[in-house]
Chains A and B, each alone.
Chain A
Amino acid sequence: MPTLPDGSIRAEHVWKKFRADKTTPELRSHLLRLRNSRSEGNRRQYRWVLKDINLDIEPGGTVGLIGSNGSGKTTLLQILSQVTYQTAGARTVQGRIGALLSVTSGLHPELSGRENVFLFGAVLGMSRAHVRKSFDEIVEFAELEDAIERQVKHYSSGMTVRLGFSIAAHLEPDILIVDEALSVGDSNFQQKCLGRIDKIVRSGTTLLFVSHDLAQVETTCERAAWLSDGVMRASGSTKDVLAVYRAAIQKEAGTMASKEGTVSVLKAEIEATDGGPLRTGCEFDVRLVLDAPKTENVRFLIGISIGTSFPIFVVDRQSTMPAGVFEIHCRLADLPLPRGHYSVWAGITGFPEGRRDPLLAWQPLTSFDATGPERIRPPQGIMVRTPIVVGATWQVG
């Protein structure tokens, strides 16, 4: 095989299996297996977490790896950075790898910040001379000039993360592999990290980047690959892959039927009215297809939350719910949210509510990514709880 240039990553037909999680002690399960059947029991239980993965990244390429939790992204990164080994297939990586799989696991809580810079630097593959040379820069980047002699266990979690990242950010690898390391710290520091990564990439370093923040992938990576259940579902330009991914996610969320309450959800969708991406300030529509057992006076509620926490805002409507399958269409005049990942919630209660159980329990139905400006940071020590008024027109039936 011809040698690839420095900074290349190539995975060919990579497979990885994990032993199934053991619930019984080894000896007992061995004995049970002996008793049950010799022929089929000889084989260990396992499952495939990666199936036939092909990936080819040229030097200087930037690739974002997306997919839901448990889809095998981290395992793939571990194999590419040779933290673990593939079960089958070939992995070729040329050049020095900087694998940033966790920003804090290399830090020792008992040691001071200074001692940790040297420790984590070494663990990540920096020479001591290199760490010594970039020490001041690392501390300055982490904004920890005053705390560097303090033990890391007395750091706040934000400080710990800043220290970890800024050590890692001063690696000078041919290939930088980053696993969700950026989803930590406050948004100001995240911005700084993104800037730093941008700088590293501009210097010609290959980047392989895992994130749940699709907007982040969009701004950082030229190419993307989508992993689902251990299979590489799609790869190509970031724009194309994200479009395919979003379409699939919405389809999946739509088929998610609720078990609680008496009304079932057949479909849940959110989209910008003009068909473009969901973005700050755009008019958007939430569409629900529901199945109700009988006609009733009810109150419909729809809300938007960050992640799965409490909603940022809720809109409601009292109406008569028809029996059978029907559609709710709610148009909201303005998406008042900054860039980020949000969930759409819905619930139905009887009206008047009384002491009855809800007809549809309050639950997240689908999620979406909004593009737009960054969230504005308030002065230090101030928490923002912005009340939002959203104009809404409803159609029920």
Chain B
Amino acid sequence: MQVQVPDGGAESSSSDAVPLLITDLSAIPAEPADDILFRHKAGLIKSARLVWEHREIIHSLAERDFRAQYKQTALGFLWAVLTPVATLLVLVLVFSRIHSIHTQGVPYALYAFVGILCWSFFATALAQGGTSLLNNKALLSKTQFPRECFPLESMVVNGVNTTFSVVPLALLFVFFGRAPTIATLWVPLFVLIEIVFATGVTLGVAGLIIQARDLTMVLPLVISLGIFLTPVIWPFTLIPTHFHVAGGHLVTGGHLVRGVAEGHHWIGGIYVNLQVVYGFINPIGPVISSVRETMLLGHAPSWPPLIAAAVGSILYLIFGYKLFKRFEVEFADIA
């Protein structure tokens, strides 16, 4: 039906004459038979293991971006620290006069900076990682290592840059004469939740953006809106924990019920902890809130929303990775 396969191609390795095979063009069907269609099978665990084997590439690509970022600048790597410090100065100037937001005695600049730090890690991961496949087009169609390396690499760069923001955070503590409490030891857990969430969303967007290029336009909008929808400059506790749902109507028993402490009236029906719902949808909310509760206030984190955030972020990761793997087949062709 098609090209005659060289008889015993494996045996003809010696100097035997290789037969000349001419294809009979008329014997080639118009379309391949259904039973030989290629199905891309890529289990998430197996793929993740493959990525781990290629971690050196992530390292090299991240190093590339990090070095290239500061090449030919007079101050070089110093900028990695200077940029967040400069951003901080602007924030302090803007926020030092705000007293109307309830921060439980924490200086507002410090309060807001923690939120901004958590948010900007996510926002940058999304902005850079989401478009990383497009930005690495040239490599995408010429190299064969796992495609996950590109978004992950940009997350690593972003992570390193964010780490440098610890310097201005420390400056702020010194400036206000405070110290992080012992409960700060919880923070790595929150960071982990955020990383899992950011990785999931970034992978999903990175894969999807190749198919739907319009996302490149939508992404900046989402990011600039997101900062207001996330408790970055307002406290997470503004979201009610006992939201009353009855008869298909949303009835707020005394408007927003602020925490259990203020007391509320049982009017029948179902109460929903909106903080948990929010945390599930946007895990960054509880993450920011928990960092504030522990590092700044010395409390234990509020567990229900945090657990929702942890579960949510794992689901984001699984779903995002699945999405990425699904579209992977076409990356090199249409990127």
Contacts and interface: CB of A to CB of B under 8 A. Distances in A.
Q: Is the A/B pair a real complex?
A: yes
Interface of A: 4, 8, 13, 15, 18-19, 48, 51-54, 56-61, 78, 81-90, 97, 99, 101-102, 105-106, 108, 110-111, 115, 118-119, 121-125, 127-128, 151, 222-223, 231-237, 240-241, 244
A121 B40 CA distance: 28
Given A86-B38, A88-B38, A125-B145, A54 B3 contact: yes
Contact of B144 (A8, A99, A111, A127): A99
Nearest to B19: A236
B142 interface: yes
Interface of B: 2-3, 5-6, 9-10, 12-13, 17-23, 25, 28-29, 31-33, 36-38, 40, 56-57, 59-61, 63-64, 67-68, 71-72, 138-145, 329, 331-334
B42 to A, nearest CB: 10
Contacts of A125: 144-145
B2 A13 contact: yes
A84 B333 contact: yes
Contacts of B138: 102, 105-106
A137 B196 CA distance: 42
Contacts of B19: 236
Given A56-B9, A87-B32, 6 more contacts: A90-B38, A115-B67, A119-B61, A123-B139, A236-B19, A244-B22
A60 B61 contact: no
A119 B60 contact: yes
Contact of A236 (B21, B57, B71, B144): B21
A110 B28 contact: no
Contacts of A85: 38, 40, 329
Nearest to A88: B32
A128 B60 contact: yes
Contact of B6 (A105, A122, A235): A235
Contacts of A18: 333
Given A58-B10, A241-B20, A87 B38 contact: yes
Given A60-B13, A89-B32, A102-B142, A235 B56 contact: no
Contact of A82 (B5, B59, B67, B144): B144
5 contacts: A83-B332, A102-B138, A115-B64, A119-B61, A119-B63
B71 A235 contact: no
Contact of A118 (B28, B60, B139): B60
A105 B144 CA distance: 13
A383 B273 CA distance: 80
A240 B25 CA distance: 19
A90 B57 contact: no
Residue of B9, B13, B25 with most chain A CB atoms under a 10 A cut-off: B9
Contacts of A102: 138, 142
Contacts of A233: 22-23, 25
A119 B149 CA distance: 14
Contact of B332 (A78, A105, A118, A124): A78
Contacts of A15: 31-32, 36
Contacts of A122: 56-57, 59-61
Nearest to B22: A234
A348 B331 CA distance: 50
A108 B64 contact: yes
Contacts of A237: 17-18, 20
A110 B25 contact: no
B40 A123 contact: no
A19 B334 contact: yes
Q: Which has the most chain A C-beta neighbours within 10 Å: B22, B37, B57?
A: B22
A83 B143 contact: yes
Q: Which interface residue of A84, A99, A119 has the most chain B CB atoms within 10 A?
A: A84
Contacts of B57: 122-123
Given A54-B2, A110-B72, A223 B143 contact: no
A236 B6 CA distance: 8
Contact of A151 (B10, B12, B36, B71): B71
Given A78-B332, A234-B20, A89 B25 contact: no
A99 B12 CA distance: 25
A373 to B, nearest CB: 27
